[in-house]
Amino acid sequence: MYNWYQLLSYAKNSRLGLADLFILIAALSALFMVVLGIITIINKKRKGEREDIGAFYLLTAVMIAGICAMPFAYVQEKGRFEKKVKEGKLNVTADELISAERKLKKFCENYYSTDKNFCSYPGSCTGNVNGYTFNMVFDAIKNPKKEKSEDVKNAIKFIEEK
């Protein structure tokens, strides 16, 4: 059975979300500070106040490096998901995985199983579906000919109805 839960974590990291919006706002703020720093450096050079210029150069260089590194981190995460999909020759999208996880999370909120691992929350109720449940259900979705337990059948029925 393929580790769909690990692929789900790659899928979540490969999409732009609310956290990325905050990062973008922080990057734009940093860019604004860089522009202000450059303007300050130019003004200090004109006025002859050179003692603080080195600190402004360093601050500006660090901010520019940080701004330039942000898009590469996003592309790297997106590439990791695509690489795993190609390696496994899988016919799945990030949206499909994330949608299935959301629906499965709703299903597990009010479901009781005799299998203690099925729909149990890892640790102290982090709000995430556990890997065992997600792997069982998503593998059954992708391999419909495979034999399924009653829990998995109920989960698939719920996911397909929503």
Tens of pLDDT, residue by residue over 18-74, are 666 777 777 777 778 777 777 777 777 666 666 666 666 777 777 777 777 766 766
Whether residues 26 and 73 share a domain: the answer is yes
20 is a domain residue: yes
Whether residues 22 and 81 share a domain: the answer is yes
1 is a domain residue: no
Whether residues 116 and 59 share a domain: the answer is no
Whether residues 154 and 99 share a domain: the answer is yes
| Average pLDDT, integer, range 71-93 | 79
Which pTM was predicted? 0.65
Last residue of a domain, one of 87, 104, 119: 87
CA separation, residue 52 to residues 34, 37, 56, 102 (Å): 15, 11, 7, 53
Give how many domains the chain has, as a whole number: 2
Whether residues 34 and 50 share a domain: the answer is yes
- Of 24, 127, 7, the closest CA to residue 77 belongs to 7
157 is a domain residue: yes
- Of 159, 129, 131, 128, the closest CA to residue 144 belongs to 159
Last residue of a domain, one of 87, 112, 128: 87
Query: What single letter denotes the amino acid at residue 157?
Result: K
- pLDDT band per the 50, 70, 90 thresholds, residue 113: confident
Last residue of a domain, one of 87, 117, 139: 87
Whether residues 71 and 56 share a domain: the answer is yes
6 is a domain residue: no
* Domain limits for position 154: 94-161
Six-digit token string for 137? 């259900």
Half-sphere CA count of 20, side-chain side, radius 13 A: 12
pLDDT at 48: 61
The values of phi and psi at residue 52, to 5°, are: -95, 0
Whether residues 78 and 115 share a domain: the answer is no
Whether residues 114 and 75 share a domain: the answer is no
Whether residues 19 and 83 share a domain: the answer is yes
Q: Is the pLDDT of residue 140 over 50?
A: yes
